[in-house]
C-alpha cells in the first residue's frame, strides 16, 4: 500500500470517526437543550397558575375591604392576605429557579463566544505572521524569486487577497467582541434581577410572619367580640392623625418623617406627573428590598472586571459630591451569581444609570450635582425613570412602569408581576393616608 493510499484511508477513518462522534453527542446535546426548554416551560406554567390564584385572592381582598367593617370580615381579609403571601413566596421560589436557569444558559453562551474569540485571535496572529513575511521581501527580491512574470503577479494578488481577508476577518472579530460585551451586560442585568428576587423573598417571609401575627393580635384584642372590634376601629381612626410624624424608611439613607416624604413626592408630581401615592409605594418596596440586601461597599461589590464602568461612574459621582466613596453604602452583590452590586440610595439606581439621568435630575431638583443618597434628589430620579416607563397615566400604566423599574425589558415575565402588585397595594394604602391628611387639613 503506497503513501497516497494510506493517506486517503486515514482521511476516511477521520471522517467516519467524526460522524460517529456526532452521532453519539448530538442527540445528547439535543436532549440537554430539550430538558432545559421543558424545565423552562414547566416553570412558566407553574408561575402562571400561581399568578391566577394570587389575582383571585386580590379580588377577594379588594371586595372584602369595600364591605362594611365587621370583625369576621377583617379576619377573612387577614387570612386571604396570608394565603396570598404564601402563594407569592412559592411564586418567588419558581421565579428564582427560572432566573438561575436563564443565568446558567447565558453564561454558557458567553463562554462559547469567548472560545470563538480566542480561536480567532490565534488565526489572526497567523494571518499577521504571513503578512509580515511578505513585507520582509523587497519588490526586487520577489521579482527575482519567480521565473515568470505571471507567477510574480499571482504572488502580488495573493498578498492583496490576504490583506482583504484580514480586514474582513478583523471586522467579524470586532462584531463578535461587541456581541460578547452585549451578552455580558445582559447577563449582569439578569443577575441584578436575581438579586432583587432573593431580597424580596426575604421580605415576603417577614410579611407572612407579620400577617399571621396581626390575625392573632386582632383575635386577642377583641376576644372574638364584635363590640370590642368596633372600639378598635375608633382607636384606629384617632391613630390616623399621627400619620405625619410616622417614619418613612428609605434604602441607603436615614429614615425621614412621612410628612417630609410626602412633600418630596408632591414636588416630584409637580415636575413629572407621577402620582405621589404611587411614588411612595415604589420607595416602600425598594426600601424593604434594600434593607434585606444589606449594606455593601463599592471596593468589594464593584470589584469584578465586569463592573469597571459602574465602578468608574461611582468614583465620578462621589468625587463630584466631595464624598468619601468608602463611606457611602451600596447594595451588596449576589455572592453565588452576581458580579456587580452597587445600587445607590433610596431610588436604588446603579451608578452608570444615575449619571445618565444626572442633568435631568439637577434641572428639576436644583441640586448640581445631584446626590443619589439625598432623598429629595432620589425622589426626582425615581419619578423621572417611572415617567420614562409610562407611569403617569393611571393604575394600569403605573403597574407597568413599576415592573419596568424592577426588570427593565423583562417586565412582562410572570415571575415579576408580584412586584407590581406589591407597589400598587402600598400605593392604595398611601392614597388613603394622604386623603386622611387632606381631610384633617381642610378642617
3-state secondary structure of 344: strand
- Burial class (CB within 10 angstroms; exposed 0-12, middle 13-18, buried 19+) of 132: exposed
How are beta strands 295-296 and 330-331 bridged, if at all? antiparallel
Q: Of the candidates 289, 278, 52, 279, which has an alpha carbon nearest to the alpha carbon of residue 194?
A: 289
Strand partners, 296: 330
Residue-level pLDDT at 269: 97
Cis ω on the peptide bond leading into residue 369 (within 30° of 0)? yes
What residues make up the domain containing 256? Answer: 248-443
Strand partners, 158: none
Phi, psi of 296 (to 5 degrees): -110, 180
- Per-residue pLDDT for the chain (443 aa), expressed as one digit of tens each? 443 433 333 333 333 333 333 343 344 344 455 576 777 778 778 878 888 888 888 788 777 777 666 777 878 888 888 888 888 888 878 877 777 777 777 777 777 777 777 776 676 676 666 656 655 555 445 545 555 545 544 555 655 666 676 677 667 777 777 777 777 777 677 677 777 777 777 777 777 887 788 778 777 776 766 666 666 655 555 555 566 667 777 777 788 888 899 999 999 999 999 999 999 999 998 887 766 455 789 999 999 888 899 999 999 999 999 999 999 999 888 665 557 889 999 999 999 999 999 999 999 999 999 999 999 999 999 999 999 999 998 999 999 999 999 888 888 887 788 889 889 989 988 998 888 788 766 66
Residue-level pLDDT at 395: 92
Longest dimension (CA), the chain: 116
Nearest-Å Rg of the Cα atoms of the chain is 31
CA–CA distance from 6 to each of 9, 13, 31, 142, 245 (Å)? 5, 10, 38, 37, 92
Phi, psi of 177 (to 5 degrees): -65, -40
DSSP codes, 193-208:
HHHHHHHHHHHHHHHH
The HSE-up count of residue 342 (CA atoms within 13 Å, CB side) is 32
DSSP codes, 16-34:
HHHHHHHHHHHHHHHHHHH
Q: Is residue 324 part of a domain?
A: yes
Q: Is residue 434 within 8 Å of residue 104, measured between CB atoms? A: no
Q: Of the candidates 125, 124, 149, which has an alpha carbon nearest to the alpha carbon of residue 139?
A: 149
Q: How many domains does the chain have?
A: 1
Q: Is residue 360 part of a domain?
A: yes
Q: Is residue 47 within 8 Å of residue 415, measured between CB atoms? A: yes
Q: Is residue 373 part of a domain?
A: yes
Q: Is residue 39 within 8 Å of residue 101, measured between CB atoms? A: yes
Q: Is residue 158 part of a domain?
A: no
Residue-level pLDDT at 11: 38
Q: Is residue 442 part of a domain?
A: yes
Q: Is residue 278 within 8 Å of residue 427, measured between CB atoms? A: yes
Residue-level pLDDT at 26: 41
Q: Is residue 5 part of a domain?
A: no
Q: Is residue 332 part of a domain?
A: yes
Contacts by residues 177-186 (CB-CB < 8 Å, ≥ 24 positions apart) = 177/117, 179/113, 180/110, 180/113, 180/114, 180/117, 183/106, 183/109, 183/110, 183/113, 184/110, 184/306, 186/106
Q: Is residue 56 part of a domain?
A: no
Q: Of the candidates 285, 283, 281, which has an alpha carbon nearest to the alpha carbon of residue 204?
A: 285
CA–CA distance from 280 to each of 195, 239, 263 (Å)? 22, 20, 11
Amino acid at each position: 500500500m503506497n503513501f497516497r493510499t494510506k493517506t486517503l484511508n486515514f482521511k476516511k477513518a477521520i471522517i467516519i470517526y467524526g460522524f460517529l462522534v456526532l452521532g453519539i453527542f448530538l442527540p445528547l446535546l439535543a436532549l440537554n437543550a430539550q430538558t432545559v426548554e421543558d424545565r423552562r416551560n414547566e416553570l412558566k406554567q407553574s408561575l402562571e397558575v400561581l399568578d391566577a390564584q394570587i389575582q383571585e385572592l386580590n379580588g377577594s381582598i379588594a371586595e372584602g375591604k369595600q364591605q362594611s367593617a365587621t370583625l369576621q370580615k377583617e379576619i377573612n381579609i387577614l387570612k386571604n392576605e396570608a394565603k396570598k403571601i404564601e402563594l407569592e413566596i412559592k411564586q418567588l421560589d419558581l421565579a428564582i429557579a427560572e432566573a438561575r436557569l436563564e443565568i446558567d444558559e447565558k453564561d454558557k453562551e458567553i463562554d462559547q463566544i469567548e472560545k470563538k474569540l480566542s480561536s480567532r485571535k490565534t488565526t489572526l496572529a497567523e494571518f499577521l505572521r504571513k503578512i509580515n513575511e511578505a513585507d520582509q521581501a523587497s519588490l526586487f527580491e520577489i521579482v527575482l524569486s519567480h521565473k515568470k512574470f505571471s507567477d510574480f503577479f499571482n504572488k502580488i494578488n495573493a498578498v492583496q487577497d490576504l490583506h482583504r481577508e484580514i480586514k474582513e476577518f478583523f471586522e467579524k472579530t470586532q462584531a463578535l467582541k461587541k456581541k460578547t460585551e452585549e451578552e455580558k451586560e445582559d447577563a449582569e442585568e439578569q443577575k441584578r434581577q436575581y438579586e432583587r428576587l432573593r431580597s424580596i423573598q426575604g421580605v415576603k417571609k417577614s410579611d407572612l410572619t407579620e400577617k399571621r401575627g396581626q390575625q392573632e393580635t386582632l383575635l386577642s384584642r377583641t376576644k372574638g367580640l364584635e363590640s370590642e372590634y368596633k372600639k378598635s376601629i375608633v382607636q384606629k381612626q384617632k391613630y390616623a392623625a399621627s400619620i405625619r410624624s410616622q417614619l418613612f424608611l428609605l434604602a441607603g439613607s436615614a429614615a425621614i418623617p412621612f410628612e417630609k416624604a410626602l412633600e418630596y413626592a408632591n414636588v416630584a408630581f409637580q415636575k413629572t406627573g407621577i402620582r405621589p401615592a404611587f411614588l411612595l409605594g415604589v420607595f416602600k418596596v425598594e426600601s424593604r428590598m434594600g434593607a434585606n440586601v444589606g449594606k455593601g461597599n463599592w471596593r468589594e461589590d464593584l470589584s469584578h472586571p465586569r463592573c469597571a464602568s459602574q465602578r468608574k461612574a461611582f468614583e465620578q459621582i462621589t468625587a463630584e459630591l466631595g464624598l468619601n466613596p468608602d463611606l457611602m453604602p451600596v447594595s451588596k452583590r449576589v455572592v453565588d451569581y452576581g458580579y456587580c452590586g452597587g445600587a445607590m440610595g433610596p431610588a436604588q439606581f446603579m451608578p452608570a444609570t444615575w449619571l445618565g439621568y444626572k442633568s435631568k435630575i439637577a434641572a428639576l431638583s436644583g441640586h448640581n450635582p445631584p446626590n443619589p443618597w439625598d432623598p429629595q434628589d432620589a425622589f426626582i430620579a425615581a419619578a423621572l425613570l417611572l415617567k420614562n416607563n409610562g407611569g403617569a397615566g393611571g393604575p394600569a400604566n403605573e403597574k407597568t412602569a413599576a415592573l419596568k423599574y424592577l426588570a427593565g425589558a423583562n417586565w412582562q415575565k410572570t415571575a415579576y408581576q408580584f412586584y407590581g402588585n406589591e407597589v400598587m397595594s402600598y400605593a392604595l394604602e398611601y392614597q388613603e393616608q394622604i386623603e386622611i391628611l387632606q381631610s384633617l387639613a381642610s378642617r
